[in-house]
Amino acid sequence: MATNNPIEKQAKKRAALTDTNLLLIITIAVFVIMYVCAVVFLGKGFAKPQTFFNILNENASLIILSCGMSLVMITGGIDISVGQVTALVCMSCAVHLDFNGGNVFTAMLIALGIGLAFGLVQGILVAYLNIQPFIVTLAGMFFAKGMTTIINATQFNVENEEFVALKSTRLTVPGMGSTNKLGEYVPAYVEIGVVVALVVVVVLFCLLRWTKLGRNFYAVGGNNQSANMLGINVKFTKFMAHLLCGLSAGIGGFVFFLHVGSGSPSHAAGAEMNAIASSIIGGTMLTGGVGNIAGTFFGVLSLSTIKNIVASLGLDEAWWTNITVAAMLCIFLLLQSVILANKNKSKK
């Protein structure tokens, strides 16, 4: 085949632009434009690296939850239990540390155990019993919510020394610090949770990109009958997606716990919606088969940046953030719907 064939050149151009890449580019562009605008119009606060790191610190657990959510959404499902599972993890760990005299390591195991248990049960119900994922995880959400209250109904701060030490550990980022009003140099820092979140992002990114299981997620989400014909175990693939999502809810829950250092039934309320919104903004399609962990990461950043912008505009009442989030969600959903409709049309 001749390489100077114009048709082929055109094809090559299109080759790079898969749906996933297209949506990823949109997301990154949205984030960059938003951040640059914030720096230009809202002044120095946003220019400081620490502002960016604080966004990471605040949202480490959301990043992890969103990554798990993206996995499920790529296979064409959804998991709305992650927020309440986070609350349950926080409460269980808090009670374990302060009332039962446990140590941090066992607390971590509890967190992972809870996440896996939810992933396991929900995965079986969705994949092997073929029940709508929304209903299953809605029940999971309410179960976790109820259990949290049953374990302990009130908020309290954890005082376990080992834990408090871990919680207040700050990792300095060299060369990113700034001088404060008194002229002292304040080093920039991130919390441990951020490192965990970045590791999760990298691991899941690699999983989706280079492993067979990861590619099977896309195939199942793209067309699960075709996937079956292509020799993929569709049920197992769906099950694994839910299991991994549950696991990441466990990890995310612990990271959240590490950030807030307390147990409360109202922790992480609405986190599932933020996770879904981040995934959608990050270019994961609800219909499945399209999405990218890198996109999800930028989705979370976009979402939290817009929240910060809303706050620094003086519109710090909670309703403005929710309304902006919903509006953003709506726009991205419509965008996806339109892309999908166009594709179907062009095929016919």
Partner 1 sequence: MELGAVLEMRGICKYFPGVRALEHVDFTLREGEIHALMGENGAGKSTLIKVLTGVYPKDGGDIHLLGHDQAVNIRSPQDAQNMGISTVYQEITLCPNLTVAENMYIGRTKGALTNWKKMNTEAGKLLDSLGIPALPAQQLGSCSIAVQQMVAIARAVDMECKVLILDEPTSSLDEQEVEKLFGLMRSLKEKGVGIIFVTHFLEQVYEVCDRITVLRDGKLVGEYVIEDLPRVQLVSKMLGKEFDDMAEIKSESDTDNIDYNGTPVYEAHQLAGTTGIKPFDFSIHKGEVNGFTGLLGSGRSECVRAIFGADKTTGGKVMIDGKEVKINKPLDAMKNGISYLPEDRKRDGIVGDLSVRDNIILALQVMKGFFRPFTRAQAEAFADEYIKMLNIKTASSDTPIKSLSGGNQQKVILARWLLANPVYLILDEPTRGIDIGTKVEIQKLVLKLAAEGKSVTFISSEIDEMIRTCSRLVVMRDGKVVGELKGDDLNQNKIMATIAGGEE
Partner 2 sequence: MAASQNSLKAKGSGENFFSRLIHNQLFIPIAALAVLVLFNLIADPSFFALSLDKNSAGDPVLSGYLVTILDNASELAILAIGMTLVTSASGGQDISVGSAIAIAGSVVLRVLCGTDSRPTALQAPIIVAFIICVLVSMAFGAFNGVLVAYFKIQPMVATLILFTAGRSIAAWINNNELPVISDPSFGYYGNFIPGIPIPTPVFIAIACMIIIALVLKFTNLRLFSQSVGINPHSSRLNGINPEVVKLITFIILGVCVAVAGFIKVSRLSTINYSVVAKDIEMDVILAVALGGNALGGGKFNMTASIIGAYVIQFLTTTLFKFKVSSNAISAYKAVVVIILVVLSAPIVREKLTELRKKLVPEKSVKEAA
Name the site residues for partner 2 (rule: CB under 8 A).
78, 125, 128-132, 134-136, 138-143, 145-150, 153, 265, 270, 273, 276-277, 286, 317-323, 325-327, 329-330, 333-334, 337, 340-341
**For residues 153 and 206, which CB has a smaller minimum distance to partner 1 in the complex?**
206
**For residues 172 and 342, which CB has a smaller minimum distance to partner 1 in the complex?**
342
Q: Which does 199 bind (CB under 5 to 8 A by kind): partner 2, partner 1, none?
A: none
**For residues 233 and 324, which CB has a smaller minimum distance to partner 1 in the complex?**
233
Q: How far is the CB of 27 from partner 2 (least distance, A)?
A: 18
Which member of 176, 213, 269, 333 binds partner 1 (CB under 8 A)? 213
Q: How far is the CB of 199 from partner 1 (least distance, A)?
A: 19
Residue 47 tokens read as 């220019």
Does residue 335 belong to the site contacting partner 1 (CB under 8 A)?
no
The three-point CA angle 224-230-232 to 5° equals: 65
**For residues 141 and 232, which CB has a smaller minimum distance to partner 2 in the complex?**
141
Stretch that binds partner 1, among 137-145, 204-212, 240-248, 303-311 (CB under 8 A): 204-212
CA dihedral of 104, 106, 107, 109, whole degrees rounded to 10? 130
Strand, coil or helix: what is 221?
A: helix
Does residue 15 belong to the site contacting partner 1 (CB under 8 A)?
yes
CA 161 to chain centre: 30
Q: How far is the CB of 64 from partner 2 (least distance, A)?
A: 20
Strand, coil or helix: what is 191?
A: strand
Q: How many CB atoms lie within 10 A of CB 26?
A: 17
Which member of 2, 129, 182, 229 binds partner 1 (CB under 8 A)? 229
Q: Compute φ and ψ for 7, nearest 5 degrees.
A: -60, -40
Which member of 215, 262, 269, 320 binds partner 1 (CB under 8 A)? 215
Task: Give the H/E segment covering residue 186.
Answer: strand 185-191
CA 245 to chain centre: 10
Does residue 3 belong to the site contacting partner 1 (CB under 8 A)?
no
Look up tokens 């155990």; give the residue.
113
Residues in contact with partner 1, counted by CB under 8 A, come to a total of 38
**For residues 5 and 169, which CB has a smaller minimum distance to partner 1 in the complex?**
5
Does residue 18 belong to the site contacting partner 1 (CB under 8 A)?
yes
Residue 36 tokens read as 């640059």
Q: How far is the CB of 317 from partner 2 (least distance, A)?
A: 6
Confirm if 336 and 285 have CB atoms less than 8 A apart. yes
Q: Which does 168 bind (CB under 5 to 8 A by kind): partner 2, partner 1, none?
A: none
**For residues 226 and 337, which CB has a smaller minimum distance to partner 1 in the complex?**
226
Q: Compute φ and ψ for 267, nearest 5 degrees.
A: -65, 145
Cα torsion 151, 246, 65, 188: sign: positive
Q: Dmax over Cα atoms in the chain, in whole Å?
A: 73
Which member of 54, 223, 262, 312 binds partner 1 (CB under 8 A)? 223
Does residue 6 belong to the site contacting partner 1 (CB under 8 A)?
no
Does residue 226 belong to the site contacting partner 1 (CB under 8 A)?
yes
The three-point CA angle 218-221-224 to 5° equals: 115
Does residue 228 belong to the site contacting partner 1 (CB under 8 A)?
yes
Bridge partner list, 171 = 190
Does residue 232 belong to the site contacting partner 1 (CB under 8 A)?
yes
Residue 159 tokens read as 């005082």
For residue 77, what are the contacts with CB-CB under 8 A and spacing of at least 6? 126, 133, 238, 241, 242, 288
Write out the residues near partner 1 by the rule CB under 8 A: 1, 7-8, 11-12, 14-20, 209-216, 218-219, 221-223, 225-232, 289-290, 343, 347-348
